[in-house]
């Protein structure tokens, strides 16, 4: 059975750069033995999220979280905090919904001043929900990403850091067998990154 990697993107925008980053990460992770899925939280009815209502989209998203071995949590940063949309979704999940899961937190934002929002605001919530392993967070400044059509590209420096995070995420799921995890970053060939 294929291992499920789930991306949750938490931007309320229909033209979300955060959702594109999540798609980009899933594209890097897709392959034999791996199933990937992207849930855009904006597509879950607001009433179901805010009123803890019974809704098929909310139930399906919750079931996907339960099934996933690894979860990419992608959020824009607003006013030095992760998205309220993400907060209300996480609040609907059981207390230990992330138990046994590997998590890759990713944030997008306009300025590097928000880079610590992932580690100081989001990481404690993910840990309180029982995540087995939370990979080093990735912050993607809008100035270092280029959107063209349906595609996304990252600046060279950011691309290296992002691919290293993907590698750590894959390794934490038992998909690479690489003993050289951690910092300083080991030298890798392009095919191993």
Whichever domain contains 100, its CATH number is 3.40.50.360
Asked if the structure places residue 191 within a domain, the reply is: no
* pLDDT at residue 157 in the model: 80
Angstrom distance (rounded) from CA 16 to CA 11: 6
Domain count, the chain: 1
Asked if the structure places residue 183 within a domain, the reply is: no
pTM of the model as a whole:
0.88
Q: Taking residues 41-56, what's their average pLDDT?
A: 86
Q: Highest-confidence range of 140-154, 162-176, 178-192, by mean pLDDT? A: 162-176
Asked if the structure places residue 45 within a domain, the reply is: yes
Q: Taking residues 34-49, what's their average pLDDT?
A: 94
Asked if the structure places residue 181 within a domain, the reply is: no
Asked if the structure places residue 182 within a domain, the reply is: no
Asked if the structure places residue 72 within a domain, the reply is: yes
Give 88's contacts (C-beta < 8 A, 6+ positions apart).
49, 50
With the C-alpha atoms ordered 62, 54, 89, 87, is the resulting torsion angle positive or negative? negative
Q: How confident is the model at residue 117 (pLDDT cuts 50, 70, 90)?
A: confident
Can you give the residue range of the structural domain that contains 29?
3-172
- pLDDT tens-digit profile of 75-116? 999 888 999 999 999 999 999 999 999 999 999 988 776 777
Asked if the structure places residue 187 within a domain, the reply is: no
For 140, the 3-state DSSP assignment is strand
Asked if the structure places residue 177 within a domain, the reply is: no
Mean pLDDT of the chain: 87
Q: Locate tokens 């610590």: which residue?
A: 116
Give 192's contacts (C-beta < 8 A, 6+ positions apart).
167, 178
């Amino acid at each position: 059975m294929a291992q499920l990697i789930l991306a949750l993107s938490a931007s309320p925008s229909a033209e979300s750069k955060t959702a594109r980053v999540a798609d980009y990460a899933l594209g890097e992770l897709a392959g034999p033995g791996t199933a990937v899925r992207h849930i855009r939280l904006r597509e879950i009815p607001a009433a179901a999220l805010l009123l803890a209502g019974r809704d098929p989209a909310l139930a399906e998203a919750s079931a996907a979280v339960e099934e996933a071995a690894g979860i990419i949590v992608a959020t824009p940063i607003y006013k030095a905090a992760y998205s309220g949309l993400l907060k209300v979704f996480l609040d609907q999940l059981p207390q230990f919904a992330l138990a046994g899961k590997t998590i890759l937190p990713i944030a997008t934002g306009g300025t590097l001043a928000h880079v610590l929002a992932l580690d100081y605001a989001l990481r404690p919530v993910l840990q309180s929900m029982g995540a087995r392993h939370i990979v080093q967070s990735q912050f993607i400044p809008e100035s270092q990403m280029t959107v063209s059509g349906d595609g996304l590209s990252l600046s060279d420096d950011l691309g290296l850091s992002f691919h290293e995070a993907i590698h750590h995420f894959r390794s934490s799921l038992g998909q690479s067998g690489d003993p050289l995890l951690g910092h300083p970053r080991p030298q890798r060939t392009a095919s191993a990154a």
